Every structure is written in C-alpha cells, then in structure tokens.
Structure 1
Amino acid sequence: MSSKPVATLYRMKTDTHVCPFGLKSRALLNRKGYDVEDHLLTSREETDAFKQAHDVKTTPQTFIDGKRIGGYDDLKAFVGQAAKDPDAKTYTPVIAIFASAALMALATSWAASGTLITVRALEWFIAISMCVLAIQKMRDLESFSNSFLGYDLLARKWVRYAYIYPFAELFAGVLMIAGALTLIAAPVALFIGVVGAVSVFRAVYIEKRDLKCACVGGNSNVPLGFVSLTENLMMIAMAIWMLAK
C-alpha cells in the first residue's frame, strides 16, 4: 500500500482537446510526491455537469483530503509556488535571444573555420541578434508599432517608419551575416541604430519615462532602457566596424 498522499484530479480530455493545465496539474502533483487519481472528463457535457455539480467555472480541479484546491494556479499556490504576475517586468526574452544568437554565432564560426572564438563570430552574433529581434517585431507589426510609437522620435513624425523598421533591421542583419553589400547594409544599420539610441536615451534617461521596450515585440514586458539601448549601440558599432573594414 502506497504511503504517498493522494490527490484527486478532474481534467478535460476529449477527442479534439486535451487541457494543457490538466497535464501541468498532474505533473506538478507527481513532482510533489502525490499519487494522482486521474479522472478524465471526456465530453463537453460531462465537463459542464462537473462544473455545475462543484460550482466551479473552469477545469482542471484538484482535490486533496476531500478539500477542493482549485485550478492550476491555485494548486501552484497550494504547493508553495508563486503565481506568475502577467504584468511583471522581465528580461527573460532578451536573455533567451542573445544567448541563442551567441550559440549560433559560435556554431557558425566552428563550422566555417574550426575555431569558436573569432572576430567573425562576434560579427555573426550581432547580425544574428538583429535578425532574431526583427523576427520578434514582425510577429505582430501592429502591436510592435503601437509600442514603438510611444518613444521613437522618427516614427512619431512619420508613422510608416514603425512598420519599416523591423524589415530594415532584418535586411541589414542578413547582409551582415553574408558579409555582402556592406555599403548598403552598414548605412541602414547605422541610421536605424542612431535614431533608436537617441530616442531611447531621451525617453528613459532625460524624460524619465517608464515604458515597455518594443525591441522583442509589442507584447513583451521587457522594460525600455538598457536592453533597447544596447540593441541600437550594437547596430551602430557593427555598422562602423563593417565600413572601417
């Protein structure tokens, strides 16, 4: 006979839908040492009947020692895991992008020359970062433009620039990865980098405004400041380096 505590979980699983929070609840309970009595709600009618019987609005629902704990967020709180604040500022997306770009640059350097640490690897890191950041912006141009218009000086005067910016960043980044058409790519990167750096510096360090950064897309909770300024300074440095070469 198992000495583990027992949790009863009711979660939705039909032919067309498997509730992800039900799977997360079951996995969390297993990690915390519970034996899980897993009850599947296999139709919309069965799910609606369960919710009506227990006077709840959502599933999954977890019960421990006959007491209803609640849904996935309630379960996390019950086992001592802090709930994620959807409005909390975070640098996680930027860390993920820059770390991935660095690994890709090192891998490319190794494939091209058999050496990890090269000047070209640094160039690739900046260029790949530009491309990945541009992709994040292009995922939802409207959302990006709404955030970008909050601080970019040129976009405020010419709204279309907010829609052009991600494509210009991608264009320059791709050419810099290839090492091609430097006399086109470098001026583009230099222009958008200078305008961006001036705009961010003014908004954050002169006007002291608390804004979200559009650098990884309009829906991020990355604060405007050091990260966006770094993105623009990287483009400026890369452009000057490419022209100097």
Structure 2
Amino acid sequence: MSKMENVGASLARRAVLYRMVMADHVCPWGLKSLHLLKSKGYEVDDRHLTSREAIDAFKARHGVETTPQTFINGERIGGHDDLKRFFGGKIRAPGETTYVPVVVLFALTALAALALSTSQFGTPFTARAAEWFIGLSMVVLALLKLQDVEKFSAMFLNYDLLSRRWVPYASLYPFLEAGAGVLMLSDRLTWLSAPVALFIGVEGAVSVFKAVYIDKRELKCACVGGSSNVPLGFVSLTENLMMVAMAIWMGQMLV
C-alpha cells in the first residue's frame, strides 16, 4: 500500500464525537458511542461539552436536539442509535413486539433449577428440577407483574374473562401466582398451592385461547408485566398450562 493510500485509510477511520461530560453528569449514550467507535477501529476525536451553555450552543449550531453526535469524514451520523444503524446494527422501534424478555426469563429460571438440582442431588436432571423450574418461573413472572400492579391489571383486563366479571381479580392474580409459586418451591401446603395454581392456570388458559384463537384479537401479553411488548399468544398460554401441569403433578403426589 502506498503512502497516499495509508493516509486515505487513516482518514477513513477517523471520527469526531461530541458528548456531554459535565461535573455532575456524564452522558451514558456518549460513552456507548465512544466505545462503539473504538470497537470498530476508529480513531476518535473525543470532544467534551462541559456546560449547559456549550451544549445549547452546539445544538443550535448543528440544528440537533440531542447529544451525543458523531461525525465521520465531515458527515454527521447522529446519535448513538444512528451510529449503531450506520454500523449495521438493529434498533428496535418503540412498541415493537419482542419475545426476548420471556426467552431470557425462562432460560434463567431453567438454569437456576438445574443448578439447584445439581447442588442437592449431584445431577441437574431430576423431577425436582422440573418442579423448581415451574415454581421459579411463577415467582419471577409474578415479581414482574407486581412491579406495577395497576399497569398489569389494565393490560390483563383486555382479555381475562374472570377479571372482566370481577375487576379486583386482575390485581389479585399476581399475588396468587406468587404465593402458589413460593409454596411449590418450599414443598409445603400443597393442598393449598395446587388448587390455586390449577384454578388460575385453567382460567388463564381459557381466557388466552378465546382472545387469540377464537376472537382473533391482537393484544399485548400481560405475562411479564404491564409494560410488556410481548404479543399475547403461546407464551401466556404456556405459562398457564405449566401451572396446570404442576398443579396436577403435585395433586397426584398428595394421593
């Protein structure tokens, strides 16, 4: 490669980044942009905006509303999301549906159950591990709902049949799910936890099946809380059927 080509390649890998770095606040998206540029092999001219006046003047000069802002070869790329898109990354649109929360949740509860089984029995694959998986999943799902019961109940009322007849059930549901899950994990009061899990599981499964597969409604699932973008369907149906299966299994253990 010639000297001129080396200079051209060097210039092509240079970026100017303007980001907020004040005494009481360092913009996290500026740090993310800086890291992204360096990870892509760019030499970064990191320019700090250290006062509100400097930030406002920069925004006015470039006609932008936010910082950070990245420039590559004199062309403004934009903020962190724009920079990520520039490098071929995907940015999820506001309100876009995703199964990521439930995949992560069930993966972690499964790993936790396998770890507990290994600790207690020396092997991850036991019947108790399956029980722990369902119990842990119920507790974590309830925890997400209980973070904002009002939001959850409002979303739940969109499709739950019993809640529409008796509105307080929408707020009571996560407490019942949490209680049943904790009792299942403790292997105590099965005579109470099994019927509760069976009731809320069957009622929930019927509600979801009617809303999605009979009425053909496109709704957001309340299964991971009221701010969820998970579509109502097989995830919520699976949650309810898991509770039904666990309740039947534990009921048989009592006989």
Distance in 1 of aligned mates of 2:30 and 2:118: 43
Q: Does 1:17 align with 2:21?
A: no
Counterpart for residue 235 of structure 2: 227
Distance in 2 (CA, whole Å) between partners of 1:96 and 1:77 is: 24
Output the TM-score relative to the length of structure 2: 0.93
Unpaired runs of 5+ in structure 1? none
Q: Secondary structure at the match of 1:212?
A: coil
Q: Displacement, 1:172?
A: 0.3
Residue 192 in 1 paired to residue 200 in 2?
A: yes
Following TM superposition, the consecutive aligned residue runs of length 4 or more in structure 1 with deviations greater than 3 angstroms are 1-4
Say how many residue pairs are matched: 245
Letter in 2 for 1:48: D
Measured in 1, the distance between the counterparts of 2:48 and 2:231 equals: 42
The letter for the 2-side match of 1:190 is L
Question: Aligned ranges for residues 36-185 of structure 1 at < 5 Å?
Answer: 36-185=44-193
In the TM superposition, residue 81 of structure 1 has moved relative to its aligned partner by: 2.1
Residues in 2 aligned to 1:182 and 1:80: alpha-carbon distance in whole angstroms: 52
Separation in 2, partners of 1:173, 1:13: 46
Cα deviation, residue 44, structure 1: 1.6
The code of the aligned residue for 2:118 comes to W
Scaled by the length of structure 1, what TM-score is found? 0.96
Aligned to 2:250: 242
1:203 aligned to which of 197, 200, 211: 211
Deviation at 1:220, TM superposition (A): 1.0
Distance 1:182 1:13 in 2: 57
Please give the alpha-carbon distance, in whole angstroms, between the structure 2 residues aligned to 1:119 and 1:82. Answer: 40
State the distance in 1 between where 2:115 and 2:90 align: 37
Instruction: List runs of 5+ in structure 2 lacking aligned partners.
Output: 1-5
Could you say which structure has the larger radius of gyration? 2
Kindly provide the amino acid, as one letter, of the partner of residue 115 in structure 1.
T
2:3 is matched with none
Residue 16 of structure 1, CA deviation: 2.0
Report the secondary structure of 2:17's partner residue: strand
Cα drift, residue 70 of structure 1: 1.2
Query: Counterpart amino acid of 1:110?
Result: T
Shift of 1:15: 2.2
SS at match of 1:108: helix
What is the rounded CA distance, in whole Å, between the counterparts of 1:58 and 1:214 in structure 2? 33
- Offset at residue 80 of structure 1 (A): 2.2
CA distance in 2: counterparts of 1:238 and 1:16, whole angstroms:
51
**Cα distance in 2 for residues equivalent to 1:115 and 1:186:** 26
Deviates more, 1:79-88 or 1:93-102: 79-88
Looking at structure 2, the residues matched to 30 and 217 of structure 1 have their Cα atoms a distance apart, in angstroms, of: 37
The one-letter amino acid of 1:31's match is: S
More deviation in 210-219 or 65-74? Answer: 65-74
SS in 2 for 1:62: strand
